[in-house]
Amino acid sequence: MTQPIPTVAVIVGSLANGTNRKFAGAIAKLAAGRLDFRFVEIGDLPLYNYELEADFPAAAARLKAAVESADAVLFVTPEYLRSIPAALKNAIEWGARPWGKNSWEGKPASIVGATPGAIGTAVAQTELRAILSHLGAALHTRPEVYFQVKPETYGDDGAFADAGALHLLNTWIDSFATWIARLSQPAILARAS
Ligand SMILES: Cc1cc2nc3c(=O)[nH]c(=O)nc-3n(C[C@H](O)[C@H](O)[C@H](O)COP(=O)(O)O)c2cc1C
């Protein structure tokens, strides 16, 4: 039986059409046939306030449905001020609520990030790992992808052109796909039958 391709809800931590959206697009291209990426927008979410939960915002409900229906979640995030962007924290707060309906619980999840800077989003990723661990996500942790974008990273078509980048991201894709399969086998197989 052919193994179905796992679906991955992709959340880009930056609202800009910048470094991390481009990085996520290149990973999606490279992962085609191994992981099925579905981008989830977070820019239309209101700022989290528990008083809004009684009339749960449609954008937040959409985020939760996208996460819950995917086999896994991928966070592609920049580092802002040695932490994660406020927009990403806001999305995670909405996903965690209402109380008892935490959409991140048990969800296979991985984190990558890109920057022109030298430390490659490592500080932000460490903070994000702590938050997702608190929320009970099933974190995929290796290989770590602290990606420094260089002039040779991409070709004109936006795909990875650099051998080092291709090796790292191919290894990461295979490892994340194995992680998802290990945790989600029953759900994926049930869908195929
Ligand atoms: C508000 C702000 C804070 C930043 N703080 C950091 C930082 O703490 N560490 C870092 O490596 N880069 C930092 N940067 C630089 C970002 O890595 C760089 O702008 C990157 O391209 C942002 O990714 P994005 O285009 O996907 O948003 C910061 C950028 C902004 C706009």
Q: Is 42 part of a structural domain of the chain?
A: yes
pLDDT in tens, 139-160: 999 999 999 999 999 999 999 9
pLDDT of residue 3: 73
Residue 38 domain flag: yes
Tell how far the Cα of 190 is from the centroid of ligand 1, in angstroms: 42
* Domain contains 52: yes
Q: What is the domain extent for residue 72?
A: 7-192
Is pLDDT of 61 > 70? Answer: yes
Give me ligand 1 centre to Cα 3, in Å.
38
177 in a domain, yes or no?
yes
For residue 32, is it within any domain? yes
Q: Looking at residue 122, what is its pLDDT?
A: 97
Task: Tell me what the mean pLDDT of segment 113-130 comes to.
Answer: 97
In a domain, 123, yes or no: yes
User: pLDDT digit string (tens) for 155-181?
Assistant: 999 999 999 999 999 999 999 999 999
Residue 2 within a domain:
no
Residues within 6 Å of ligand 1 by CB: 14, 16, 18-20, 78-82, 115-117, 119
Q: Could you give the number of structural domains in the chain?
A: 1
Structure tokens at 7: 């679906």
Q: Is residue 14 part of a domain?
A: yes
Q: How confident is the model at residue 2 (pLDDT cuts 50, 70, 90)?
A: low
Measured in whole angstroms, the distance separating CA 150 from the mean position of its chain's CA atoms is: 22
Q: Give the list of residues 6+ apart from residue 19 with CB closer than 8 angstroms, or none.
A: 78, 114, 115, 116, 149
CATH number assigned to the domain comprising residue 126: 3.40.50.360
Q: 63-104 pLDDT, tens per residue?
A: 999 999 999 999 999 999 999 999 999 999 999 999 999 999
What is the reported pLDDT for 146? 98
